[in-house]
Amino acid sequence: MYRSDVVDATGAGPGSVVLIQEQARAGSQRREDKSVPSASLAPRRATRPGAPRLLGSAFYSTASEIAIRMISPKPVADIEGLVRERIRAAIAYRERFVQNTNAYRVIFSEGDFLPGLIVDRYNDILSVQVLTQAMDAAPIRRAFLSGLNEALNPAAVFERVDPRVRKLEQLQDKESGLIGSATGVSPVESAKSPLTTTEFQINGVRFVYDAQAGQKTGAFLDQRENYAAAAQYARGEALDVFCYQGGFALHLARTCDKVTGVDSSRSALEAAEQNAGLNGREIEWIEANAFDLLRDYSDAGRKFDTIVLDPPAFAKSRQSRETALRGYKELNLRALKMLRPGGILVSCSCSYHVSGADLLEVLASAAQDSHRIVRNLENRGQAKDHPSMLGIPETAYLKCIISVVS
Ligand code: SAH
């Protein structure tokens, strides 16, 4: 809930656990018990006069526009116990729903009822991101670290710090580094440590991992199930556009005759080449601006049998949605023109502000402009280790549409 929803939060400190109540209608009393800080919201629907309605408990931020993140529909007496219990539940969920990988998201913030915490597992290394005042508080940090250590016994726990997020939450500056390890190395010793590198596998494809490098926490784990789905249909000559470290390309190489990956980041392509070596594959990597390269290729009449488009989030806010849609349209149009009859298009978007329906519409209009017939094989989303919560639409953000083009 946003700061603008809060009418009173006197006494609620940075990162505190607060009781959330809906303010009663005019003439009623405020809650009298002052032992737990509380925040009051404006009444949304008719409440009984004289009775503020208790909505539950939340983490409070004094800095963020998202002032309130709900953690329980009830009052919470033991927050550290609750965090440890949520960690155990999140891990049990993965044991049930995640297969064929030792790299997956262990904790997905709101999706695991632990708002502000992201934990990714890469084989024996955990990569942690702390995004809110409440998660940064020392007792909560101790609680989630002990929960993670107990259940997963990692060789190392590495914290990736996003300085922009810490600034927004008015948290002290901090460097990325080890925050825990099986051998008890202190964060000071962690500058360049073998503990921060490992190898992981997704669907039997091998990847190098360096906790200190790369984008996000290292890999785009949300695409894990889509890699396997894409490989199932892929064939012939394949082009993986926005390939990063080769997630799709390496999977496509299992079924395709020739695979080319394109990205503008040289360091991503260096990791991609290492990954290809690890899997005994030959893949052509091209460092280029994808828009320029697609234009040159389509002008030159290049053809492919499979094309993957997985661009970065073009729409970071609602305002940039129109520009983003034009970007998606251009990419999809060029891809459709370059596909041979019977070709496979895998078109993704990770912009929350562009919906699945929007992306399908873009694809339909690109199909019309390119005079191609596009049949939809699968409308997919993020992998199940990034659970999307009904009632919190922001937790569903990834779209992956697989089509066959004639
Ligand atoms: N498909 C990848 C994830 C792609 S993330 C995977 O599954 O792992 C988006 C990628 O687009 C990043 O690697 C980024 O370096 C790259 N990128 C961003 N803008 C680009 C551009 N204009 N041209 C080419 N690559 C770009």
Residue to probe by mutation, ligand 1, list 251, 263, 291, 386, most atoms within 8 Å of CB: 263
Task: For residue 208, tell me if it sits in a domain.
Answer: no
Closest approach atom of ligand 1 to CA 312: 9
Task: Provide the β-strand partners of residue 8.
Answer: 40
pLDDT tens-digit series, residues 160-174: 999 999 999 999 999
pLDDT exceeds cutoff 70 at 365? yes
Task: For residue 210, tell me if it sits in a domain.
Answer: no
When mean pLDDT is compared over 183-187, 213-217, 352-356, the highest value belongs to: 352-356
- Sign of the Cα torsion 326, 330, 333, 339 reads negative
Residue to probe by mutation, ligand 1, list 202, 259, 264, most atoms within 8 Å of CB: 264
pTM: predicted TM-score of the whole model, two decimal places:
0.92
Give the tokens for residue 111: 């999706």
Task: For residue 37, tell me if it sits in a domain.
Answer: yes
Same domain? 160 vs 298: no
pLDDT exceeds cutoff 90 at 143? yes
Same domain? 341 vs 401: yes
pLDDT exceeds cutoff 80 at 24? no
Closest approach atom of ligand 1 to CA 289: 23
Confidence of residue 49 (pLDDT cuts 50, 70, 90): low
Q: What is the pLDDT of residue 346?
A: 98
Same domain? 111 vs 134: yes
Separation of 312 CA from ligand 1 center, angstroms?
A: 6
**Residue-averaged pLDDT of the chain:** 92
pLDDT exceeds cutoff 60 at 187? no
What CATH number should be reported for the domain holding residue 119?
Answer: 3.30.750.80
Q: What is the pLDDT of residue 51?
A: 74
Q: What is the pLDDT of residue 342?
A: 98
Same domain? 225 vs 333: yes
Same domain? 186 vs 166: yes
Task: For residue 205, tell me if it sits in a domain.
Answer: no
Separation of 401 CA from ligand 1 center, angstroms?
A: 17
Task: For residue 400, indicate whether it is catalytic.
Answer: no
Task: Name which residue sits closest to atom 1 of ligand 1, judged by CA.
Answer: 243
pLDDT exceeds cutoff 60 at 190? no
Residue to probe by mutation, ligand 1, list 242, 251, 292, 308, most atoms within 8 Å of CB: 242
pLDDT exceeds cutoff 90 at 397? yes
Same domain? 370 vs 226: yes
Number of CB atoms found within 10 A of residue 4's CB: 9
pLDDT tens-digit series, residues 261-280: 999 999 999 999 999 999 99
Same domain? 15 vs 86: no
Same domain? 290 vs 353: yes
Decide which of 41, 72, 103 is a domain's last residue: 72
Could you tell me how many helices (H) and strands (E) the chain has, helices first?
10, 19
Task: Name which residue sits closest to atom 3 of ligand 1, judged by CA.
Answer: 244
Interacting residues of 239 by C-beta distance below 8 A, sequence separation 6+: 259, 260, 261, 262, 304, 306, 307, 308, 338
Task: Name which residue sits closest to atom 9 of ligand 1, judged by CA.
Answer: 312
Decide which of 72, 95, 119 is a domain's last residue: 72
Confidence of residue 103 (pLDDT cuts 50, 70, 90): very high
pLDDT tens-digit series, residues 288-316: 999 999 999 999 999 999 999 999 998 77
Say how far apart CA 348 and CA 344 lie, in whole Å: 13
Report which of 344, 347, 333 is spatially closest to residue 294, judged by C-alpha positions: 333
pLDDT exceeds cutoff 90 at 218? no
Same domain? 54 vs 102: no
Ligand 1 cavity residues, CB under 6 Å: 220, 223, 242-245, 247-248, 263-265, 268, 289-291, 310, 312
Task: For residue 203, tell me if it sits in a domain.
Answer: no
Confidence of residue 189 (pLDDT cuts 50, 70, 90): very low
Q: What is the pLDDT of residue 26?
A: 63
Q: What is the pLDDT of residue 45?
A: 62
Full domain range(s) for residue 59: 3-72
Report which of 176, 184, 125, 178 is spatially closest to residue 155, judged by C-alpha positions: 125
Task: Name which residue sits closest to atom 18 of ligand 1, judged by CA.
Answer: 312
Q: What is the pLDDT of residue 327?
A: 96
Report which of 76, 72, 73, 65 is spatially closest to residue 6, judged by C-alpha positions: 65
pLDDT tens-digit series, residues 53-72: 889 999 999 999 999 999 99
Task: For residue 181, tell me if it sits in a domain.
Answer: yes
What string of DSSP letters covers 292-354? Answer: HHHHHHHHTT--EEEEEE----S-SSGGGHHHHHHHHHHHHHHHHHHEEEEEEEEEEE--TTS
Domain count, the chain: 3
Separation of 91 CA from ligand 1 center, angstroms?
A: 30
Separation of 237 CA from ligand 1 center, angstroms?
A: 20
What CATH number should be reported for the domain holding residue 390?
Answer: 3.40.50.150
Q: What is the pLDDT of residue 188?
A: 46
Task: For residue 213, tell me if it sits in a domain.
Answer: no
Give the tokens for residue 184: 């008890």
Task: For residue 118, tell me if it sits in a domain.
Answer: yes
Q: What is the pLDDT of residue 47?
A: 55
pLDDT exceeds cutoff 60 at 31? no
Same domain? 55 vs 89: no
CA atoms within 13 A on the CB side of 155: 12
